[in-house]
């Protein structure tokens, strides 16, 4: 029973982070048809900024949070505006490779600026101590964070379904020409979705960093969100929530029943299985190619 | 209908890369066989090796060895990604697979050359397995399959390492005798031979029937079978050949460095190979070599450039600065100069040839009547 609760709660807490990360990946894929391999760097940047500011000053948390999210949002928007926009109309893989190039730049820069120090983020208002659920003990802070990230992811999904902003983003991604004729400013929608993806990644990074340490290992977390995105369907926004939670649960079970070293490999085996047997994922679009 | 409209859209994937990797004004014969050009490149490489082995410092020879090793992987990735159009971020996976297979073989008593050959064969098989999804999926999804290969191979490598030598590194007996400097010089000649063979092999495949088939698959995958091209066979072939070559590089690198640990193989390493072929020029003969030399020597000159530009001391972060440099160059080249540095040389030689032809025509008096 203890092991089971550890698997489920631990998995859900990871899964809620994955859901946020995957949401960002799916959002930019939906809007601009690009897989963003620099998503983990957005997460790490926001977490690093907050961690560094907290160790160097006593400023209150909320302005720091807003400032760091503004920075990653701007970085995301600039990446799209300065680089990816220039690759419109070129083969599919060109913008993806551009994000890989950006990932290399971000990796090197963060290595120089932040060094190899590990930072920790202390979020005010989080409960300390541990809570016992069915015999397994969890940090209360991580439970609160889990609830918060799940709610956030859920509300973003709902917002995409029902608000005009969400509909604009979906429309612009589906048919840019038609959307622009319908009065949607496609250009700004694209920039906005990259900024939003950066902000979502930043929130995920800070949330994850407040219960774990902040170090470059966070980039791997975003790499492990690709299987979640593919499982849910690369272009399905509700799918990212389901996929993220499913991958989190899978990792929770694998970690608690087999051991942490099997987590990455089992996640990517899921990716291979999904790819071979249902490439469109659970909620994704069937892709049809014509000559 | 209960299904939201968004889930029923059809997407026509743009398969067309022709405007990308070859400009329309270029003749179809761009990829014809030119043995003289290949010979010239090999001679140039030999001259570089000869110069540094006789004149260069020990460090320069070491750097030359790493650059030559990188040439093997870059040629292989150039074939897979540039010619066949299969996007792969799996270079470090195959490097790791090759290195660890060679270590295993050496520990069981294989001699040096046999362990390298064995690693190449094993990696060819691994490449076939990774290529299997490529038969069903296309384009950028495939990059995720190679990413999966990366995590699976590293898992196996980590398990093997932690069960045999623990967190330390595998140590290998040096292949050549003598001092460290002499060993590196011998390696330079050996690697020159290997790179020459790889260059001839990849060029021969790129410029023949298989090259035409790969380009057809790259540019119009859906139409390729209608031209009688067995798409599955050619895709798998590209994966097997390039993986075997990269695996061989991994095995050689493990023997060359003399130690091996799973921590060396990162995604950044794989990105640096993508940078090499796209900076040098994808689907070209000299491009991967130019890129490999440029990217591997970056840690020696990029910090100096940074210091000259900003005045701050950058040598401590040479790896990070060169990472920034190749990332930035990668972006600049794919946006502004998709044919890479090799494309500049092609344009330059065409420009010179046109000028010469015009001058010759002029000198022969053909235009005198018009004038």
Question: pLDDT grade, residue A55 (50/70/90)?
Answer: confident
d(CA B284, CA A280): 34
- Residue in A closest to B269 by C-alpha: A104
Mean pLDDT of A207-223: 87
**B152 with A265: Cβ contact below 8 A:** yes
Partner A contacted by B258 (CB < 8 A): no
Q: Mean per-residue pLDDT for A52-76?
A: 90
Asked if A276's CB is within 8 angstroms of B148's CB, the reply is no
* Between B67 and A119, the higher pLDDT residue: B67
Q: Is B312 on the interface with A (CB under 8 A)?
A: no
The pLDDT tens digits for A274-285 are 887 887 888 877
CB contact under 8 A, A290 and B12: yes
Model pTM? 0.89
- Predicted local confidence at residue B344, as pLDDT: 93
For residue A288, the chain B residues in CB contact (below 8 A) are: 10-12
The beta-carbon neighbor of B144 closest among A86, A107, A271 is A271
Tell me the average pLDDT across A56-78: 91
pLDDT, averaged across chain A: 87
B268 touches chain A (CB under 8 A): yes
A104, A262, A275 member nearest B271 (Cβ) = A104
Residue count of chain B: 371
> Is B144 within 8 Å of A226 (Cβ atoms)?
yes
A285 touches chain B (CB under 8 A): yes
Q: Do the Cβ atoms of B87 and A96 come within 8 Å?
A: yes
pLDDT digits (tens, 9 = 90+) for A143-195: 888 888 899 999 988 988 898 888 888 888 888 888 888 888 888 999 999 99
Model pLDDT, residue A3: 81
pLDDT given at position B329: 95
CB–CB of A285 and B16 under 8 A? Answer: no
* Rounded Cα gap, residues B129 and B114, in angstroms: 23
Chain B residues within an 8 Å CB radius of A289: 12-13, 15, 138, 221-222
Chain B contact present for A275, CB below 8 A:
yes
Give bridge partners of residue A131 from the DSSP assignment. A138
Nearest Cα to B60, choosing from B172, B226, B208, B188?
A: B188
Q: What is the block-wise mean pLDDT of chain B (371 residues), using blocks of 10 residues? A: 40 43 48 86 94 89 94 95 90 94 91 93 93 76 86 91 83 82 90 96 92 90 88 92 96 92 90 94 92 93 85 79 94 92 91 90 65 42
Say yes or no: A135 contacts chain B, CB-CB below 8 A: no
pLDDT at B14: 44
Given CB atoms, is B265 within the 8 Å cutoff of chain A? no
**pLDDT given at position A289:** 55
CA distance A24 to A20: 7
φ, ψ for residue A175, nearest 5 deg: -150, 100
**DSSP for residue B86:** -
Q: What is the ipTM of this complex?
A: 0.89
Query: To probe the interface with A, which of B90, B142, B145, B323 has the most A CB atoms within 10 Å?
Result: B323
Which B positions 171-210 lie with beta carbon below 8 A of chain A?
A: none
Which residues on chain B are in Cβ contact (under 8 Å) with A221?
Answer: none
């Amino acid at each position: 029973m203890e092991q089971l609760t550890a698997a489920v709660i631990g998995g859900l807490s990871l899964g809620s982070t994955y859901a946020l990360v995957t949401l960002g990946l799916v959002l930019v894929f939906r809007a601009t048809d690009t897989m963003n391999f620099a998503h983990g760097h957005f997460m790490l940047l926001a977490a690093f900024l907050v961690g560094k500011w907290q160790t160097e000053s006593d400023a209150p948390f909320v302005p720091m949070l807003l400032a760091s999210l503004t920075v990653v949002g701007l970085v995301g928007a600039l990446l799209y505006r300065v680089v990816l926009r220039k690759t419109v109309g070129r083969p599919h893989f060109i913008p993806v490779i551009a994000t890989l190039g950006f990932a290399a730049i971000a990796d090197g820069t963060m290595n120089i600026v932040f060094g190899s120090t590990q930072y920790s983020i202390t979020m005010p208002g989080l409960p300390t101590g541990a809570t016992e659920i069915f015999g397994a003990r969890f940090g209360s802070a991580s439970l609160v964070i889990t609830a918060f990230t799940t709610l956030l992811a859920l509300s973003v999904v709902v917002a995409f379904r029902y608000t005009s902003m969400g509909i604009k983003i979906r429309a612009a991604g589906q048919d840019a020409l038609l959307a622009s004729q319908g009065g949607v400013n496609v250009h700004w929608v694209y920039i906005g979705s990259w900024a939003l993806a950066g902000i979502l990644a930043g929130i995920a990074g800070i949330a994850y960093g407040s219960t774990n340490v902040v170090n470059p290992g966070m980039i791997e977390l975003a790499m492990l969100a690709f299987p979640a995105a593919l499982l849910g369907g690369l272009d399905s926004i509700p799918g990212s929530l389901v996929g993220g939670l499913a991958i989190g649960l899978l990792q929770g079970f694998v970690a608690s029943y087999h051991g942490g070293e099997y987590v990455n490999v089992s996640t990517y085996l899921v990716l291979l299985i999904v790819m071979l047997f249902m490439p469109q994922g659970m909620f994704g679009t069937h892709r049809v190619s014509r000559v | 209908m209960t299904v939201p409209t968004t889930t029923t859209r059809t997407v026509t994937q743009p398969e067309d890369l022709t405007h990308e990797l070859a400009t329309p004004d270029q003749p179809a014969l761009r990829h014809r066989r030119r043995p003289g050009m290949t010979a010239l490149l090999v001679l140039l490489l030999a001259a570089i090796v000869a110069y540094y082995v006789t004149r260069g410092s020990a460090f320069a020879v070491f750097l030359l060895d790493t650059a030559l090793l990188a040439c093997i992987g870059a040629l292989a990735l150039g074939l897979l990604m540039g010619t066949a159009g299969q996007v792969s971020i799996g270079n470090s996976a195959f490097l790791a697979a090759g290195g660890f297979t060679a270590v295993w073989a050496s520990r069981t008593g294989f001699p040096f050359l046999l362990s390298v050959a064995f690693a190449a064969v094993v990696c060819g098989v691994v490449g076939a397995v990774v290529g299997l999804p490529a038969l069903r999926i296309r384009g950028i999804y495939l990059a995720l399959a190679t990413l999966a290969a990366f995590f699976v191979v590293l898992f196996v490598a980590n398990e093997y390492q932690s069960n045999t030598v623990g967190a330390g590194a595998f140590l290998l007996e040096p292949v050549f005798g003598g001092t460290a400097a002499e060993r590196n010089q011998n390696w330079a000649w050996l690697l020159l031979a290997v790179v020459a063979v790889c260059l001839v092999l990849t060029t021969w495949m790129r410029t023949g029937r298989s090259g035409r088939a790969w380009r057809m698959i790259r540019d119009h995958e859906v139409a390729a079978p209608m031209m009688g091209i067995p798409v599955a066979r050619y895709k798998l072939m590209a994966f097997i050949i390039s993986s075997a070559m990269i695996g061989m590089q991994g095995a050689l690198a493990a023997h060359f460095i003399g130690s091996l640990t799973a921590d060396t193989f990162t995604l950044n390493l794989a990105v640096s190979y993508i940078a090499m072929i796209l900076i040098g020029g994808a689907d070209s003969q000299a491009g991967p070599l130019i890129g490999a030399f440029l990217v591997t020597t970056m840690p020696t000159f990029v910090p100096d450039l940074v210091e000259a530009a900003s005045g701050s001391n950058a040598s401590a972060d040479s790896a990070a600065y060169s990472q920034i440099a190749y990332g930035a160059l990668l972006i600049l080249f794919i946006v502004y100069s998709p044919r890479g540095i090799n494309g500049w040389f092609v344009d330059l030689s065409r420009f010179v040839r046109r000028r010469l032809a015009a001058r010759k025509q002029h000198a022969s008096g053909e235009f005198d009547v018009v004038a």
